[in-house]
C-alpha cells in the first residue's frame, strides 16, 4: 500500500499534522469550487501560452501540462533534511565532474569503473584538463525524488545538463496565490518567487573575471520549435536578460558578442538550453545551426561561462547514478543523506541474470534515457512488451538498469470523480555558484493523473502541482 502524504499510513480518517488545515479547508469548500478553480487555471494557462511539445505529435504546440489545484505540502523538518541531502549530493556531483576532467582520482581509486566514464557518450574529451570559470560545473541541477514512507525519500535520478520544469514551479505558485488567497492565509508557505533572483545572482557570480562588475547574461535557446521554448522565454523574461538563438551570437578575438540594434555587446554568461552536440559546429556536430561557431574556443580560454558546463551529461547517466553513494563518500567523506533507489546494473552478469528472472515485476530504464521514454514498467506491461524488453536486455545489457517497482507516495488530487489519491514525485532545483550551493524551497511536484499509474512525466500524461514548503 502506498504512503499517502495527507493520511500517512493511518487510513482515510487520519490526517498528518502538516495537512490538517488543508483537510479542513477541503471538507468545508463547496462541492464545485475545486472544479471551477481548475477550469479557471486551465483558461489562464492557455491564455498565457504555457505549453510544451511532444516530439512527433502534430498538435504538439497546443499541449498544456495539466495543473492540479490541490497543493502538495512538505513540513519544515522534512525540508531541512531534504535540503541538506540535496546540497551534499550536488556538491559531490560538482567535485566528481571536476575530478573526471582533471586528475581522475575517483577512477584510479576504483570508485567507479573508468570505462563507464571515459566511454560514456556524454563524456567530452575536449574538457579534459580544463576548468570552467569559477570552477563550477553544475550551476543548475534538478534532482528527482520519490517518497515511499514517513521518512522514505529516495533519489530517482539526477539532471545535470539542462534540467527543465522550473517555469511550471513558478507559474503554479502564482496561479495558486491568485485562485486560493484564503488558503494561503492558513499556512506559512515559503516563497519560491525568489528563485529567479537567486539564479541571476548565481549566474553573475559565476562569470569570468574578465566580465568586470556587471556581467552580461543571456539565455540561449534552440528556438521556438523546441519542446521547452516556453520555459526559455519565461526565464529570460523573469531574469531580465536577452533570449538569444545561436545566430544572435558570434565570436570575435576570443570573445562572445551579441548582435543588437546598438551594435555588438559582450556576453559573459550563457545559460544554455542547447545540448553539447549542438553548441559549436566547429567543435561538435558540424551540421548544427543552433550553436555558435568558435564558442568552445572562447570557453576554453575562460572568456565566457556556460551554464551548465560542457560535459556534465556524464552525471545524468543512469549507470553513473548507481555509483552516487560511493561518489558522495569519496568526495565529501560523509555517508549519503539521501539514498538511491536500489538498482541492478544490467552490465554485470549476476545482476542481469536476476533482472531477467524477475522482469515482470521490475522497472527497466535505458541508462541514457529521459522523459519516461524507453522504459519498461513490468507490472503494467503486457506479456509481449516484457518479452520485447527481454530481447533488448539480452542484446545490450550495458544499456540498461533495473529497479524494484516502488510504490511512490500519493497525494490528494482532483479527478473527474472528485478528490482521489494519485502518485507523485518531486524535482527540487539546486543552484551552485562560487558562493556555494542553495536550494529553492519547494520544487516541481509531478503527478500521475491516471489511476494507478506510476509514470508522472508530462510527455506520458502526467500533470503538476504547487509544492508548499512550510516555514518553521
Question: Which grid coordinates belong to 371?
Answer: 522523459
Please indicate, yes or no, if residue 271 is contained in any of the structural domains: no
Question: Which grid coordinates belong to 276?
Answer: 553539447
Q: Is residue 394 domain-shared with residue 414, that is, in the same domain?
A: no
* 60, pLDDT greater than 50: no
Q: pTM, whole model, 2 decimals?
A: 0.93
**Per-residue confidence at 349, pLDDT binned at 50, 70, 90?**
very high
Q: Is residue 100 domain-shared with residue 53, that is, in the same domain?
A: yes
Express each pLDDT in 143-165 by its tens digit.
999 999 988 899 999 999 989 99
Q: Is residue 308 domain-shared with residue 391, that is, in the same domain?
A: no
Please indicate, yes or no, if residue 232 is contained in any of the structural domains: no
Count Cβ atoms below 10 Å from residue 338 Cβ, excluding itself. 19
Please indicate, yes or no, if residue 107 is contained in any of the structural domains: yes
What pLDDT score was predicted for residue 1? 75
The residue behind cell 544554455 is 272
What pLDDT score was predicted for residue 49? 73
Q: Which of 404, 420, 444 is the last residue in one of the domains? A: 404
Q: Is the bond preceding residue 264 a cis peptide, omega within 30 degrees?
A: no
- Mean pLDDT over 211-223 rounds to 95
Q: Is residue 314 domain-shared with residue 331, that is, in the same domain?
A: yes
What pLDDT score was predicted for residue 58? 45
Q: Is residue 363 domain-shared with residue 413, that is, in the same domain?
A: no
**Per-residue confidence at 46, pLDDT binned at 50, 70, 90?**
confident
Q: Which of 360, 381, 404 is the last residue in one of the domains? A: 404
What pLDDT score was predicted for residue 11? 60
Express each pLDDT in 381-398 by its tens digit.
899 999 999 999 999 999
- Mean pLDDT over 282-297 rounds to 96
Please indicate, yes or no, if residue 236 is contained in any of the structural domains: no
Burial of 252 (0-12, 13-18, 19+ CB in 10 A): exposed
Residues 235 and 288: beta-carbon distance below 8 Å: no
The residue behind cell 539480452 is 394
Q: Which residues contact 248 (CB under 8 A, 6 or more apart)?
A: 242, 258, 259
* 455, pLDDT greater than 80: no
Q: Which residues contact 438 (CB under 8 A, 6 or more apart)?
A: 87, 198, 202, 430, 431
Please indicate, yes or no, if residue 9 is contained in any of the structural domains: no
Q: Is residue 77 domain-shared with residue 167, that is, in the same domain?
A: yes
- Mean pLDDT over 246-269 rounds to 97
CATH of the domain at 380: 3.30.1490.270
Average pLDDT, the chain: 92
Range of the structural domain that residue 354 is part of? 344-404
125-129, 181-185, 243-247, range with the lowest pLDDT = 181-185
Residues 45 and 225: beta-carbon distance below 8 Å: no
Count Cβ atoms below 10 Å from residue 162 Cβ, excluding itself. 21
The total of structural domains in the chain comes to: 2
* 187, pLDDT greater than 80: yes
Q: Is residue 21 domain-shared with residue 86, that is, in the same domain?
A: yes
* 416, pLDDT greater than 90: no
- pLDDT > 90: percent of the chain: 80
Please indicate, yes or no, if residue 231 is contained in any of the structural domains: no
Q: Is residue 107 domain-shared with residue 157, that is, in the same domain?
A: yes
Amino acid at each position: 500500500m502506498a504512503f499517502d502524504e495527507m493520511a500517512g499510513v493511518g487510513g482515510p480518517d487520519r490526517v498528518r499534522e502538516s495537512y490538517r488545515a488543508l483537510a479542513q479547508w477541503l471538507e468545508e469548500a463547496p462541492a464545485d469550487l475545486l472544479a471551477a478553480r481548475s477550469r479557471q487555471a486551465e483558461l489562464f494557462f492557455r491564455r498565457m501560452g504555457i505549453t510544451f511539445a511532444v516530439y512527433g505529435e502534430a498538435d504538439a504546440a497546443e499541449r498544456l501540462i495539466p495543473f492540479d489545484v490541490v497543493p502538495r505540502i512538505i513540513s519544515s523538518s522534512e525540508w531541512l533534511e531534504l535540503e541538506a541531502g540535496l546540497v551534499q549530493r550536488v556538491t559531490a556531483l560538482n567535485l566528481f565532474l571536476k575530478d573526471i576532467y582533471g586528475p581522475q582520482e575517483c577512477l584510479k581509486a576504483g570508485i567507479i569503473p573508468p570505462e563507464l566514464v571515459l566511454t560514456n557518450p556524454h563524456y567530452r574529451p575536449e574538457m579534459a584538463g580544463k576548468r570552467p570559470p569559477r570552477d563550477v560545473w553544475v550551476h543548475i541541477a534538478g534532482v528527482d525524488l520519490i517518497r515511499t514512507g514517513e521518512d522514505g525519500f529516495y533519489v530517482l535520478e539526477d539532471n545535470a545538463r539542462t534540467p527543465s520544469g522550473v517555469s511550471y514551479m513558478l507559474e503554479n505558485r502564482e496561479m495558486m496565490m491568485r485562485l486560493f488567497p484564503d488558503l494561503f492565509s492558513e499556512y506559512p508557505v515559503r516563497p519560491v518567487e525568489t528563485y529567479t533572483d537567486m539564479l541571476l545572482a548565481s549566474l553573475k557570480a559565476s562569470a569570468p573575471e574578465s566580465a568586470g562588475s556587471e556581467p552580461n547574461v543571456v539565455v540561449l535557446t534552440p528556438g521556438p520549435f523546441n519542446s521547452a521554448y516556453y520555459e526559455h522565454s519565461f526565464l529570460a523574461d523573469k531574469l531580465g536578460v536577452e533570449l538569444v538563438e545561436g545566430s544572435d551570437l558570434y565570436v570575435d578575438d576570443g570573445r562572445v558578442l551579441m548582435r543588437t540594434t546598438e551594435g555588438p555587446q559582450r556576453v559573459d554568461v550563457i545559460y544554455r538550453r542547447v545540448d553539447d552536440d549542438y553548441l559549436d559546429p566547429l567543435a561538435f556536430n558540424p551540421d548544427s545551426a543552433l550553436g555558435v561557431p568558435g564558442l568552445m574556443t572562447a570557453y576554453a580560454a575562460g572568456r565566457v561561462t556556460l551554464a551548465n558546463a560542457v560535459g556534465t551529461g556524464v552525471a545524468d547517466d543512469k549507470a553513473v547514478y548507481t555509483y552516487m553513494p560511493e561518489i558522495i563518500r569519496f568526495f565529501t567523506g560523509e555517508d549519503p543523506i539521501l539514498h538511491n533507489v536500489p538498482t541492478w546494473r544490467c552490465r554485470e552478469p549476476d545482476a542481469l541474470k536476476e533482472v531477467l528472472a524477475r522482469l515482470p515485476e521490475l522497472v527497466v530504464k535505458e541508462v541514457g534515457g529521459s522523459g519516461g521514454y524507453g522504459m519498461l514498467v513490468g507490472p503494467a506491461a503486457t506479456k509481449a512488451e516484457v518479452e520485447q524488453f527481454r530481447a533488448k536486455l539480452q542484446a545490450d545489457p550495458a544499456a540498461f538498469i533495473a529497479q524494484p517497482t516502488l510504490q511512490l507516495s500519493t497525494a490528494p488530487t482532483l479527478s473527474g470523480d472528485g478528490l482521489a489519491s494519485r502518485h507523485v514525485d518531486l524535482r527540487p532545483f539546486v543552484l551552485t555558484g562560487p558562493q556555494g550551493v542553495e536550494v529553492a524551497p519547494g520544487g516541481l511536484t509531478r503527478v500521475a493523473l491516471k489511476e494507478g499509474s506510476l509514470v508522472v512525466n508530462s510527455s506520458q500524461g502526467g500533470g503538476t502541482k504547487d509544492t508548499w514548503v512550510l516555514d518553521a
